[in-house]
């Protein structure tokens, strides 16, 4: 098989600069909305878990987008059960917290299905490798001048093999399946650690911001390759507690528990890096260029931070389907958008979802695959924000 020559990075960088700066698209704005209150009511001890399960790096379900759309909407009492949560403490103890929901009125707009045509529907039949949709469009971030700067510095690695995103001074948002397989907590969840990527070498020059490292480009052929000793190391911080919504725990939820595939980690000490704010997920048609972005630690790029962006595809009230190139290990990455903030009169990135991973659906003898992200709805925003802030007063606008 012939290996193509390295393409010029000029056009790629120009495109990325357009995405980076105020774009040529119409100025889409963050629309603040009133957030309901999800308030803890009672916390009780639960039997300690056994930590016997292996971490899952992909999600499987028999429920496709149509199935999710047709699923009965949960009632108020269902939502109270779904948003109740378990907290795993670093000493191995487990508690269960029930919640009350206040000021919640289902928005009629949440039932609207935005049928944006997903990119690559025909390409799915000719993919060269799992979770890569045609040409590999991922970019590795090179050089500590960029790795340690926002927004790339908010990406972290979990000791269970997933990725996560800094959303507070001590808090990391990730996927629930990275710590809980739906029935049991996974091995390593009790002594869960969060890794912050740091280069071993000193940057004496500034390499290009993005290096396209695909199977079709020889690394040696690139004139912008980083030094040969560019291996990275992680600085690890232990997690003090981990919150997982009961909606993910299958024994207490329906067959579409993946709608709640998110978890929040509280670290034992502050990380002293800038974090990214949470935002309520807007409809895909309101995203600039309909694009979403996320960075994570894909398993096939060991020790590297991988960034990607792509158009958002189909939606359900709780899930966003897209064809961003990704590999196992990227699960748990924070999916974000960059839009204009009219209050601060500036462009701002906010986390609007959690990358759940690659979902295979078997239906009528045929298999389909999707890349799925859990959308941050007003109720999920209220819950996650309370976990971070410890009060609901600071969580009323998202």
Catalytic annotation, pick one of 4, 66, 255, 394? 255
In this prediction the pTM is 0.80
| Residue 15 covered by a domain | no
The reply to whether 174 falls in a domain is: yes
Average pLDDT across each block of 10 residues of the chain; the chain has 398 residues. List them in order: 36 41 57 89 93 69 77 89 96 96 70 33 36 65 72 92 95 95 90 85 47 35 40 87 92 68 96 92 87 89 86 87 85 91 86 86 68 93 96 87
Question: Do the domain assignments include residue 384?
Answer: yes
One of 61, 153, 159, 331 is an active-site residue; which one? 331
Look at residue 380 and tell me if it is in a domain. yes
- Structural domain including 73 reads 22-395
> What is the rounded CA–CA span in Å between residue 90 and residue 335?
27
CB 240 within 8 A of CB 269: no
| DSSP label at residue 6 | P
The yes-or-no answer on residue 331 being catalytic is: yes
C-alpha 235: how far from its chain's center?
21
- What per-residue confidence (pLDDT) applies to 143? 64
Q: Do 387 and 173 touch, CB atoms closer than 8 A?
A: no
Please tell me the predicted confidence (pLDDT) of residue 110.
39
Structural domain count of the chain? 1
pLDDT for residue 137: 65
- Residue 4, domain member (yes or no): no
Do residues 153 and 273 make contact, with C-beta atoms less than 8 angstroms apart? yes
22 contact partners, CB below 8 Å, separation of at least 6:
340, 347
- DSSP for residue 5: P
- 7: in domain: no
Q: Is 255 a catalytic residue?
A: yes
In this structure, the dihedral spanned by the alpha carbons of residues 395, 338, 310 and 16, taken in order and rounded to 10 degrees, is: -150
**Amino acid 57: pLDDT:** 61
- 8-state DSSP, 68: H
> Of these residues, 171, 177, 180, 358, which one is catalytic?
177
Q: Is 9 inside a domain boundary?
A: no
- The reported pLDDT for the residue numbered 9 is 40
What's the distance, Cα to Cα, between the start and end of the chain in Å? 50
């Amino acid at each position: 098989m012939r290996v193509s020559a390295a393409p010029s990075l000029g056009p790629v960088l120009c495109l990325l600069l357009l995405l980076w700066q105020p774009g040529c698209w119409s100025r889409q704005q963050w629309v603040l909305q009133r957030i309901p209150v999800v308030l803890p009511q009672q916390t009780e001890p639960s039997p300690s878990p056994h930590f016997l399960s292996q971490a899952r790096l992909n999600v499987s379900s028999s429920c496709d987008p149509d199935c999710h759309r047709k699923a009965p909407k949960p009632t108020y009492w269902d939502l109270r059960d779904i948003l109740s949560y378990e907290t795993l403490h670093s000493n191995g103890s487990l508690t269960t917290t029930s919640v009350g929901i206040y000021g919640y009125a289902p928005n009629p707009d949440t039932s609207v299905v935005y049928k944006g045509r997903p990119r690559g529907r025909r390409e799915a039949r000719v993919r060269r490798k799992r979770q890569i949709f045609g040409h590999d469009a991922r970019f590795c971030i090179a050089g500590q001048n960029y790795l340690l700067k926002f927004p790339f510095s908010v990406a972290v690695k979990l000791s269970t093999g997933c990725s996560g995103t800094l959303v507070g001074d001590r808090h990391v948002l990730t996927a629930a399946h990275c710590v809980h397989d739906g029935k049991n907590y996974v091995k390593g969840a009790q002594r869960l650690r969060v890794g912050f990527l740091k280069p071993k070498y000193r940057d004496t020059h500034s390499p290009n911001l993005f290096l396209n490292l695909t199977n079709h480009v020889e690394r040696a052929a690139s004139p912008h390759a980083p030094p040969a000793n560019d291996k990275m190391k992680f600085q690890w911080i232990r997690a003090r507690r981990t919150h997982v919504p009961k909606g993910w725990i299958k024994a207490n939820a329906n067959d579409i528990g993946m709608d709640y595939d998110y978890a929040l980690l509280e670290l034992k000490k502050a990380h002293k890096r800038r974090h990214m704010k949470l935002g309520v997920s807007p409809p895909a048609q309101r995203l600039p260029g309909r694009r979403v972005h996320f960075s994570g630690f894909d398993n096939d790029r060991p020790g590297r931070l991988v960034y990607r962006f792509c158009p958002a595809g189909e939606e359900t009230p709780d899930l966003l389907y897209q064809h961003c190139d990704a590999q196992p290990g990227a699960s748990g990455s924070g999916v974000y958008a960059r839009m204009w903030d009219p209050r601060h009169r500036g462009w701002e990135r906010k986390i609007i979802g959690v990358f759940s991973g690659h979902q295979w659906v078997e239906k009528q003898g045929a298999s389909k695959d999707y890349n799925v992200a859990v959308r941050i709805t007003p109720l999920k925003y209220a819950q996650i924000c309370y976990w971070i802030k410890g009060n609901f007063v600071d969580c009323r606008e998202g």
